[in-house]
Amino acid sequence: PYTALILCLKELGLTKEQVIPVSTGGKVARYEALLSKKVPAAILDPPYSTMAAKEGLKLLVDLTTLDVPYLRAVTAVSEKTLQQDAGTVARFVEAVSEGIQFYRNPANKEEGLKILAKYLRVSLDKQRAVVEEGYDTYRDMTMKKPYPDPAGLQIILETIAESNPKAKSVNPASFIDASFVERLDKQGFFEAKGSQ
CB within 8 Å of 49: residues ≥ 6 apart: 59, 62
Please say whether the beta carbons of 117 and 131 come within 8 A.
Answer: yes
Mean pLDDT over 70-96 rounds to 91
pLDDT value of position 121: 86
How far apart CA 12 and CA 88 sit, in angstroms, is: 43
> Does the pLDDT at position 195 exceed 60?
no
| Cβ neighbours, 10 Å, residue 110 | 10
Q: What is the pLDDT of residues 133-189, one digit of tens each?
A: 889 988 888 888 999 889 889 988 988 898 899 999 999 999 999 999 999 999 999
Is position 39 within any domain?
yes
Q: Helix H segments across 16-149?
A: 27-35, 48-54, 79-84, 86-104, 109-120, 128-141
Task: Tell me: do 90 and 50 sit in the same domain.
Answer: no
Task: Report the pLDDT value the prediction gives residue 88, as an integer from 0 to 100.
Answer: 97
Segments forming the whole domain that contains residue 91: 79-192
Note the pTM of the prediction, 2 decimals: 0.77
Classify each residue of 49-81 as buried b or exposed e, where b means 16 or more C-beta atoms within 10 Å of its C-beta. bbbbeeeebeeebebeeeeeebeeeeeeeeeee
**Same-domain pairing of 153 and 84:** yes
35 and 127 part of one domain? no
